Chains A and B, each alone.
Chain A
Amino acid sequence: MKNKTVYSQEHLLYLKKTKRRNLFVFLARFAVFGLLLAVWELAASLEWVNPFITSSPSRIGKTLADLYKSGSLFHHVGITLGETLLGFFIAVAAGYLIALLLWWSEIFRRVSEPYFVILNALPKIALGPLIIIWFGTGSKAIVSMTVLVGLIVAILNMLGGFMATDENKLLLLKSMGASKLQILLKLVVPSSLPALISMLKISVGMAWIGSIMGEYIVSKAGIGYLIVYGGQVFKLDLVMASVFVLCVLAAGMYAIVALIEKLVIKNEK
């Protein structure tokens, strides 16, 4: 099937056009970024806007360089990244297991449903004071906040994936005399793989919300700490630089999940 095929002129033209358009989109993305930076820089240096309030790309760059030189950039990045990743993995793993239990037992599912609905709607930050008192003012509190923010969403998303298992495939396995455990392992878990991937993607975002929110409430270091500190002492360059670092980290983590998706889902279609 994968022998060399001879394409018609029209097809070659079509391929060329598609390629050119994709290249255009790719370049345009960078161009937009560059343009935004340039306008921002220009507006700040010509004092169309007050650079003390809006900061500017060059000031952000300088702030980052200073942070890097003083060695504190990777210190803060490391702390936030560690808290985020730990919270992410705990939320995802616990969410998956709890969703499995809920799938297994209809009674458990029905009894717990209103609790999950309410916990899902509750703004988790309302629990901030409790978390500080229960878990102290260290990283433990921040990881707890991260788990709290991500867990319910992870459970509900995963349960949705488990419950969407094809009825006819269930019937087929039952007709073969499959046990519930066999149905789980041979059908429900593999068929919910796309749901797992989408749950991971959502959880990446949730983990960042949780860890930064946690650092806002209580922290001595981390990106969230830098943002709050920068805001308090009116060093908006520091706030902007921290947000930029956050963008890079979040994009990187999302890219990793997207890569996993590509590796895992390649056979199905």
Chain B
Amino acid sequence: MKEVLRFENVCMNYHTRQGETVAVKDLNFSVSEGEFVAIIGPSGCGKTTVLSLAAGLLKPTHGKVESFGASFGYMLQKDELFPWRTIEKNICLPLEIKRINTPENRARAFALAEKYGLKDFLKSYPSSLSGGMRQRAALIRTLAIDPDLLLLDEPFSALDYQTRLNVCDDVYKIIRSEKKTALLITHDISEAVSVADKIFVLTKRPASLLSAHTLDFPDGEPLKRRENKLFSHWFERLWKELNA
């Protein structure tokens, strides 16, 4: 399968007055087209750094981040919808930034919004939407530029538990039905197990790859996975790895 992202011996050092912090050291992994990859690691291990490197927001100190010309969309913990823009205008924001705000691209983005239940909210302001709907709008905004790779930075962690399970299921289905490649970072093992095809476990800082797992669930959907016997098997296994 075609690769869309590859980390080769990536090292990342941060410099501050107090000294130098090695956040990432000799990290190797790759993500192929159509995969849903989750990266988990102990808190403070530099997961967000990995995502910033993947997005090209940071340049690695050593090594290489190869993205093969893939375009990407970045989704954050909170929806970060602009309160002074309607949902419609929020969804078009990346099109404006990339100067591709053409009628065709807009129509495509609005079609996505309609398909996933945001039709009645297009003219509304974000403040009138529920947390789950807002996160869905944020996903549609991310998908508006038709990215090859979605980078998800704990996109559910700001939601309450009930909403979180539903939105996670929701986002998973949308990403699957749009056949997108996704890289999710999270500290929540159960979330990773419920959505990913592959899980990469990172070590404590400096982060490098501890192990890689391919999950073998027969049924893909997060809520169904949680009912499967394999779920607790994977959860325990990853738990032990993280706490070893």
Contacts and interface: CB of A to CB of B under 8 A. Distances in A.
Given A193-B84, A268-B83, A175 B57 contact: yes
A176 B125 contact: no
Q: Closest 7 interchain pairs by CB?
A: A175-B74, A176-B97, A178-B97, A176-B94, A268-B83, A172-B80, A190-B84
Interface residues of A, number: 20
Interface string B46-85: 0000000001010000000000000011101110101110
Contacts of A169: 80, 82
Interface string B180-198: 0000000000000000000
B127 interface: yes
B84 A166 contact: no
A171 B94 CA distance: 13
Contact of B93 (A171, A174, A176): A176
A267 B83 CA distance: 8
A173 interface: yes
Contacts of B97: 173, 176-178, 182, 186
Contact of B74 (A172, A187, A190): A172
A76 B94 CA distance: 54
B94 A187 contact: no
A233 to B, nearest CB: 55
B57 A267 contact: no
Interface of B: 55, 57, 72-74, 76-78, 80, 82-84, 93-94, 96-98, 125, 127, 145, 151
A190 B57 contact: no
A133 to B, nearest CB: 47
Interface in A137-170: 166, 168-169
A101 B72 CA distance: 32
22 contacts: A168-B80, A169-B80, A171-B74, A171-B76, A172-B74, A174-B57, A175-B55, A175-B72, A175-B73, A175-B74, A175-B151, A176-B74, A176-B93, A176-B94, A177-B97, A182-B96, A182-B97, A190-B84, A191-B82, A267-B84, A268-B83, A268-B125
Given A191-B84, A268-B83, A177 B98 contact: yes
A269 interface: yes
B98 to A, nearest CB: 6
Contacts of A178: 97
B125 A267 contact: yes
A267 B123 CA distance: 12
